[in-house]
Copies of this chain bind each other. A is one copy, B any other.
Amino acid sequence: MEISTLLGVIIAFVFLVIGMFWGGGNLEMFADPSSIVITIGGTLAGVFASYSIGDFFALPKVMGIAFKKVEYDPVSGINIIVTLANIARKEGMLALEERANEIDEVFLRKGIMLVVDGTDPELVKNIMEAELGSIESRHQKGTGMVEQIGALGPAFGMLGTLIGLIIMLGNMNDPSALGSGMAAALITTFYGSIIANVIAIPIATKLKTASGNEIMYKEILLEGILSIQAGENPRIIEEKLYSFLPRAVKEAPKKEDAEGEAEEK
């Protein structure tokens, strides 16, 4: 999703750093290697323990999705469906086979191939919905991993602070060291809260939107595939599929093809 994830995370950090200097602090006060080990190391170890090795190492790729541009443009998806529907109408279902091989989108190609093969409509629907369900549960696992980072971050932050407090309180020979010991103890809580609120929560939110977009996109494709198979009128198919889109996205194409459709005032 565009540049906003990276930019937002950076800006949030900038605001925090400004707050540190403005308040009379310096970066040194907030950088503590042992706190990093406990908070980041512990959080990652917890996530590692919670998922399979394969899922864990897919984490950078999963989180990377939140930093990428939207891939699923429903308008162009509808255009492809309408084109295919026109071909199916004029040249018959079999003519779709040739075109299907040019389709990059795996989901759409699979659906069209099932239609070309003359698969029973009910079965096409079942197969493609199972496919969608498996995509959705993959997304949920990905978002779940990022959300667990957001839950374990503050937890290991608190564990680190408890470690720091117990050490500090156990070594209270030098009361003058109390302040710096307490400050050091709080740094892991600080790190844990950053992990959750600056990194994990925004990324998880973006991933959910990205998943919603992909699922909506593929539901539109599936609706289109089934409509093509049912031999529906391409214009009706177009109108039906556009109903799935949010208004903002709908406006653009409407103006382009200038069909005099209703506009909101």
Which residue numbers of A lie inside 8 Å of B, CB to CB? 1-9, 11-12, 14-16, 18-20, 22-25, 29-30, 33-35, 37-38, 41-42, 45-54, 56, 70, 104, 106, 109-110, 113-114, 119, 123, 126-128, 130-131, 133-135, 137-138, 141, 144, 148, 151-152, 155-156, 158-160, 162-167, 169-172, 176, 178-180, 182-184, 186-190, 193-194, 196-198, 201-203, 205-206, 209, 212, 236, 239-240, 243-248, 261-265
Q: How far in angstroms is the closest Cβ of chain B from A219?
A: 10
Asked whether A240 and B23 contact (CB < 8 A) given A8-B49, A205-B148, the answer is no
Chain B residues, CB < 8 A from A167: 20, 23-25, 29
Chain B residues, CB < 8 A from A130: 240, 243-244
CB–CB A53/B3 < 8 A: yes
Query: Which listed residue (B23, B48, B160, B186) contacts A169, Cβ 8 A?
Result: B186
Q: How far in angstroms is the closest Cβ of chain B from A109?
A: 5
